[in-house]
């Protein structure tokens, strides 16, 4: 077993930074993140065990549920020689038992980084304003940057080059969709978003992505978006925190359920993607997720390697 041989590319400008939005990254920084994720993944698989974050600690704060984000950040820290501390609203009562500012000041004395999953994006901004260590967005109501980092790693593996890849996101213009807009602005993919009227992505994120030159088309017909796409991507209609709006959303998204028949419209190399968890029978059928075209569990696997790259670049000395 080669213990220390892996040496991922170092993106100098990311050291000590927050990762709250992919919109804060340059093209070079994003591509460096993906390169280092690939290197770390390959190295891990051939037996390299580099302790790149030896003795460092990540605090993980969750206001919402999680399987993938919680597990993979924890495992990533462990595999890089570090450690994580899991906190949740129930444990720390942040903003209730004590202020977010006080939580940030305390954690900054003990840990080298904080990953947080919040409802309001403003909570993350407040945390980052007061934390003396990097803050990573593990999903907010507005954005999910770590997911799209793993997804673009998956795209690189599937297609080699990202340039010219046609991505279709169909469904709710939610946090995952907004991060798709940001990711499109960092690469040469062409992105089509199909959503019902009234469920479009965030106007500010869209405007900024387009101003950076992103190739983004907005339509209201999901089958039109899927036609000839290399990637058909969807996400839940009812995100965490929107449960009270379930009936209205189910009605608005009728006609948006991705079924096996939709896969026939994709390009010959076309794949299906979903960040998970899936609500079967709503945005997608189980058959599609388990079909040969599906890259869903590659995406889940790549959360681990993408998070290693993010943690390495932000938290290293
Ligand atoms: N995709 C994703 O973020 O999964 P979790 O909510 O389980 O973390
Ligand atoms: N849009 C979903 C993503 C879950 C990973 C949600 O916010 O619940």
For 171-211, write each residue's pLDDT tens digit.
999 999 999 999 999 999 999 999 999 999 999 999 999 99
126 and 154 share one domain = no
> How many whole angstroms separate alpha carbon 225 and alpha carbon 179?
18
In angstroms, what is the span from residue 57 Cα to ligand 1's centroid?
21
Structure tokens belonging to residue 88 = 């949740």
Let me know if residue 317 belongs to a domain. Answer: no
What's the total number of domains in the chain?
Answer: 2
pLDDT digits (tens, 9 = 90+) for 144-175: 999 999 999 999 999 999 999 999 999 999 99
Residue 295 pLDDT more than 90?
A: yes
Residue 3 pLDDT more than 90?
A: no
Let me know if residue 5 belongs to a domain. Answer: no
Let me know if residue 3 belongs to a domain. Answer: no
Between the two ends of the chain, the Cα-to-Cα distance in Å is 26
Confidence of residue 1 (pLDDT cuts 50, 70, 90): very low
162 and 122 share one domain = no
54 and 122 share one domain = yes
Residue 2 pLDDT more than 70?
A: no
In angstroms, what is the span from residue 2 Cα to ligand 1's centroid?
32
The pick from 60, 71, 303 for probing ligand 1's pocket by mutation, whose C-beta has the most ligand atoms within 8 angstroms, reads 303
Let me know if residue 220 belongs to a domain. Answer: yes
**Tokens 């006080």, residue located:** 102
Let me know if residue 271 belongs to a domain. Answer: yes
Question: pLDDT value at position 84?
Answer: 98
180 and 295 share one domain = yes
177 and 265 share one domain = yes
Q: Is residue 2 within 6 Å of ligand 1 at its C-beta?
A: no
> How many whole angstroms separate alpha carbon 108 and alpha carbon 100?
12
Task: Point out the ligand 2 atom lying closest to the alpha carbon of residue 175.
Answer: 1
pTM of the model: 0.98
Q: Which domain holds residue 119?
A: 12-143+303-312
In the chain, which ranges are continuous DSSP H helix?
A: 27-45, 68-79, 89-92, 100-108, 121-130, 145-159, 175-184, 203-211, 222-226, 246-252, 260-263, 286-289, 296-315
121 and 204 share one domain = no
Confidence of residue 4 (pLDDT cuts 50, 70, 90): low
120 and 159 share one domain = no
The residue among 84, 90, 83, 134 whose CA lies nearest residue 108 is 134
117 and 234 share one domain = no
In angstroms, what is the span from residue 23 Cα to ligand 2's centroid?
19
Structure tokens belonging to residue 160 = 């080699």
Let me know if residue 4 belongs to a domain. Answer: no
In this prediction, residues 99-116 reach a mean pLDDT of 97
120 and 216 share one domain = no
Let me know if residue 2 belongs to a domain. Answer: no
208 and 75 share one domain = no
194 and 116 share one domain = no
Query: For the domain that residue 100 is a member of, what is the CATH number?
Result: 3.40.50.1370
Which DSSP category does 8 fall into?
Answer: P
| Nearest ligand atom owner, CA of 283 | 2
138 and 156 share one domain = no
Q: Is residue 147 within 6 Å of ligand 1 at its C-beta?
A: yes
pLDDT digits (tens, 9 = 90+) for 215-273: 999 999 999 999 999 999 999 999 999 999 999 999 999 999 999 999 999 999 999 99
């Amino acid at each position: 077993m080669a213990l220390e041989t892996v040496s991922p590319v170092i993106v100098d400008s990311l050291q000590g930074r927050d990762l709250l939005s992919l919109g804060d990254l340059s093209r070079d920084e994003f591509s460096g993140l993906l390169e280092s994720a690939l290197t770390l993944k390959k190295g891990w698989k051939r037996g390299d065990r580099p302790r790149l974050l030896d003795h460092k600690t990540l605090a993980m704060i969750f206001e919402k549920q999680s399987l993938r984000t919680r597990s993979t950040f924890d495992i990533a820290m462990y595999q890089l020689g570090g450690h994580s501390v899991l906190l949740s609203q129930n444990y720390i009562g942040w903003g209730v038992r004590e202020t977010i500012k006080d939580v940030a000041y305390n954690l900054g004395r003990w840990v080298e980084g904080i990953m947080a999953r919040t409802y309001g994006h403003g909570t993350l901004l407040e945390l980052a304003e007061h934390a003396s260590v990097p803050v990573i967005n593990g999903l907010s109501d507005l954005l999910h940057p770590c997911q799209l980092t793993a997804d673009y790693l998956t795209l690189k593996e599937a297609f080699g080059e990202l340039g010219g890849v046609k991505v279709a996101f169909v469904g709710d213009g939610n946090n995952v969709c907004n991060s798709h807009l940001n990711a499109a602005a960092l690469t040469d993919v062409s992105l089509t978003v199909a959503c019902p009227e009234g469920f479009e992505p965030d106007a500010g994120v869209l405007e900024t992505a387009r101003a950076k030159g992103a190739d983004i088309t907005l339509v209201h017909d999901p089958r039109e978006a899927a036609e000839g796409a290399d990637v058909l991507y969807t996400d839940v209609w009812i995100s965490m925190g929107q449960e009270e709006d379930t009936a209205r959303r189910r009605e608005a998204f009728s006609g948006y359920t991705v079924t096996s028949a939709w896969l026939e419209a994709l390009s010959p190399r076309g794949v299906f993607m979903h960040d998970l968890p899936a609500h079967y029978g709503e945005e997608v059928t189980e058959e599609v997720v388990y079909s040969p075209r599906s890259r869903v569990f590659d995406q889940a696997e790549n959360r681990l390697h993408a998070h290693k790259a993010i943690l390495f670049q932000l938290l290293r000395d």
